[in-house]
Structure 1
Amino acid sequence: MTGGVGRALDRGFEKLSARPLSLLVFLASAALLVYLQTSSVGHFRARAVGRAQVVEHPSLVASFISKVYVQPGDHVEAGTPLVDLSSYFIERELSQLNAEVEQLLHERNLAQARLHVQEERWLTPELRMRPSRPSLDRPTEAWYAAQLEVLQTRRSQLLETRNNLTVSSRISGRVALVVAPGSPVAVGSSVAMVTPEHAEEIVAYLPPDTDPARIEAGVAVRIASRPTSCERYGTVLRRGAGVEQMPGQLDNFFGVAAQGMPVYISVPLGCELGVGQVLAVEFPKAGM
């Protein structure tokens, strides 16, 4: 088995020696890697990427999608319509509420009529003429009025919701996901997701063997990448719970997924970084 590995290595070096350009690219890549890690005296350089939380847009009602205005990848401004929700279920509930109101009004009028007839039997003519005569008319009216108020309040809420069934983008950014037309949605479920235009934080990835205890929040970290307007200092916000796979933008030279210890850094004031933009950051070695 050792001999087989040796022969494979020999063939690999023969190919490199036969292709000077390949060897040059390999050496340049290795040199770049060393530079990224040790370029600054007293600092440790690491690769990083701009990141932002995707903003979800939940449905306020149980419904289904009646119309879609955008597609994944579209750029939208804040306030741009994303989808329309169907008013079918709201209309059905409004119809039921209207029927309940009519029924309650009918029951109230019938109860008052019966009450008046009974009072005619219970009370003497003298008592019926008194302004302060004993009567159940007021308590009965108050009970029905309270029931009607509940129904009317619910009706007003439904009418307001019916007028706001278009879900619009809360931010400017790029559409990451949108639910297809005809899809049912539950209350609170997301109907669209939008990625912000600019990164909200920077995630740097340190070697997997980095001691987490040596990564302190508040440490100043230099952003050492273009655009030059962003060559400033950010602050370490927190570190990840453990080693994780890096984003695809940070795959190594051979296209193999790499792993690292994530460290979250604030974006310097006035620095507009794209979401997914690759950067280099410099940590002070004293804090590592």
Structure 2
Amino acid sequence: MGVKAAKRIKAGLVLVLSTILLLLYLYPFFMVLVNSLKKRAEIIKSPLTLGENINFKNYTDAFRTMNFMNGFFNSLIITVVSVSLIIIFSAMLAYFLARWNWKINKLIFVTLVVSMIIPFQALMIPFVKIYGSLNLLNSKWMLCFFYLGFGLSLATFMYHGFITSIPVELEEAAIIDGASPIQVFFKIILPLLKTTTITIAILDVLWIWNDFLLPSLVLIGEDQRTLPLSMFYFFGKYTSDYGMAMAALILTIIPVIIFYLLMQKQIIKGVIEGAIK
């Protein structure tokens, strides 16, 4: 057997294995889509087979029952504001920690890294008790503030490693030309952090958009609910409407898919540049 034939066989095996893994990965999503088009009785009777008739009524009922537009705008506002705050504040903090050689900066950086180890589940009971006693719950803006606090550590850690690789001479040249420290950051440093910013934005958008636990603790009123919280409408104490729940799940993930399709080039470019660096 020649070398070329061996390479072709190896490439063929890799392709077959990758295809099998892809199908296994997509199968649960396919079944969610299939069951969202079936009646409740059909789902209970045969959840792993195709339905006899396509039923779009689940989508219209789910759209109305979960008050989709209200939940969508709540999720959109919370995600956009939270991600924007995390990016700006973490980038500025990482720049400060990397460029100003104060003794306390090392302590701050170590504290941020250590805080990433602490799980949120260990903090949620005192979290609810303290902020509930201060009447700071049931607000989208307070939830954005909480996301900033919980997302700041990882983003700062990622930015810090990239900023330390940027030559200081770029900043010194800008300062000689008359730029202020704020101008140096926003016109020199922040544009160079584009790759890291895209990576952080992707991670935080997926985290915040799909998060259920923190909003369930903070957003009490029905008018404040995000899309994941709106899924509660379909699960009662004695019954569950699985068809509508599947349809609601599809409606919930559609905005994330649209976000990926719009940002696909930037996402791939960011991943490639990040791997090279």
TM-score, normalised to structure 1's length? Answer: 0.20
Query: Which structure has the bigger radius of gyration?
Result: 1
Decide which structure has greater strand share: 1
